[in-house]
């Protein structure tokens, strides 16, 4: 009854081709079939975007690398903050009940409001970028890890309780390992967010990075331009890459997760 598993690479290839076809057709349709005015500002041809992307590849790659490094630093700090917060909230119910509403409130504050305060605290430039990236990305990590702690099988907790295990040991041996999968889910959601945050800040004023290229492209050529879309493609790839990196780390840290996943999928 077990079907032969289709190669993942083929799946992705099929999907990419599928998207390509749908996109090309849509771009064609709005120009020749549907009565839409100024189709050029709406959707450029996919092949046009791809060509422009490769024409500017070195440039885009260099800019993306800058953004990636900045975001990476923000991500590490953000994850650390998220872990600490989740840990504190799991350790003490009092802290959780008090802090949670404020955590959410904090997430609701747009970067524009935070930026002046952050600038005052850490000065401008790279440090501010890293700080703001961290602030934007810690929330998914905190929420997911906290849920991970909460979801630990009650029977297991009670077992350890019956052994009179001290709280720190319970955490070390049970809670943290069990919550790791959730932590990585959170990190996978946070990683692209950090990239987005870094790009956002680059768009506010910077000398390098993919965000700056996006701003230039937008300003001089509008949102339908091939370069703009190439930059977005680069940004999307960057975001996905960050998720992939997290997945790789996940596979090393919790190899048993993969086994469980396979079972659940079949």
Residue pair 191/245 in contact by the 8 Å Cβ criterion:
yes
Instruction: Out of 23, 24, 59, 84, point to the residue binding another protein (CB under 8 A).
Output: 59
Cα–Cα distance for residue pair 190/246, rounded to 1 Å: 10
Neighbours of 11 (CB within 10 A): 11
Q: Which residues 2-31 are close enough to bind another protein by CB under 8 A?
A: 3, 5-6, 8, 11-12, 14-15, 18-19
Instruction: Out of 2, 35, 108, 164, point to the residue binding another protein (CB under 8 A).
Output: 108
Instruction: Out of 21, 104, 169, 172, point to the residue binding another protein (CB under 8 A).
Output: 104
Residue 93 in the binding site for another protein (CB under 8 A): yes
- Interface map 151-190 toward another protein (x if CB under 8 A): xxxx--xx--x-------------------x---x--xx-
Shortest reach from residue 198's CB to another protein, in Å: 9
3-state SS class at 4: coil
Instruction: Out of 54, 123, 163, 168, point to the residue binding another protein (CB under 8 A).
Output: 123
Nearer to another protein, 47 or 120 (CB): 120
Nearer to another protein, 32 or 252 (CB): 252
Cα–Cα distance for residue pair 64/62, rounded to 1 Å: 5
Shortest reach from residue 50's CB to another protein, in Å: 15
Residue 133 in the binding site for another protein (CB under 8 A): no
Residue 35 in the binding site for another protein (CB under 8 A): no
Size of the site for another protein (CB under 8 A): 121
Nearer to another protein, 32 or 115 (CB): 115
Instruction: Out of 51, 109, 169, 172, point to the residue binding another protein (CB under 8 A).
Output: 109
DSSP notation for 121-172: HH-SHHHHHHHHHHHHHHHHHHHHHHHHHHTS-HHHHHHHHHTT--HHHHII
Shortest reach from residue 25's CB to another protein, in Å: 16
Residue pair 140/83 in contact by the 8 Å Cβ criterion:
no
Tokens (6 digits) for 15: 């999907």
Residues in the chain: 266
Q: Which residues 213-242 are close enough to bind another protein by CB under 8 A?
A: 213-224, 227-228, 231-232, 235-240, 242
DSSP notation for 37-96: S-GGGT---HHHHHHHHHHTHHHHHHHHHHHHHHHHHHHHHHHHHHHHHHHHHHH-HHHH
Cα–Cα distance for residue pair 159/222, rounded to 1 Å: 62
Residue 113 in the binding site for another protein (CB under 8 A): yes
């Amino acid at each position: 009854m077990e079907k032969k598993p289709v190669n993942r690479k083929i799946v992705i290839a099929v999907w990419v081709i599928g998207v390509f076809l749908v996109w090309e057709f849509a771009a064609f349709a709005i120009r020749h079939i549907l009565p839409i005015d100024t189709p050029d500002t709406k959707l450029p041809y996919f092949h046009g975007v791809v060509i422009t992307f490769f024409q500017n590849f070195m440039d885009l790659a260099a800019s993306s690398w800058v953004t990636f490094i900045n975001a990476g630093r923000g991500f590490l700090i953000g994850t650390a903050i998220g872990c600490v917060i989740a840990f504190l909230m799991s350790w003490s119910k009092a802290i959780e009940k008090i802090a949670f509403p404020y955590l959410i409130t904090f997430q609701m504050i747009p970067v524009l409001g935070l930026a002046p305060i952050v600038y005052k605290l850490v000065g401008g430039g790279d440090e501010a970028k890293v700080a703001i990236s961290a602030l934007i990305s810690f929330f998914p990590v905190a929420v997911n890890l906290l849920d991970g702690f909460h979801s630990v099988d009650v029977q297991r907790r009670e077992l350890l309780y019956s052994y009179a295990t001290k709280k720190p040991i319970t955490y070390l041996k049970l809670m943290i390992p069990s919550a790791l999968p959730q932590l990585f889910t959170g990190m996978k959601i946070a990683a692209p967010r950090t990239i987005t945050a870094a790009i956002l800040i680059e768009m506010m004023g910077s000398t390098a990075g993919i965000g700056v290229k996006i701003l230039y492209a937008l300003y001089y050529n509008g949102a339908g331009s091939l370069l703009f879309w190439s930059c977005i493609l680069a940004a999307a790839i960057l975001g996905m890459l960050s998720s992939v990196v997290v997945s790789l780390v996940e596979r090393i840290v919790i190899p048993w997760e993969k086994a469980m996943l396979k079972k659940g999928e079949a």
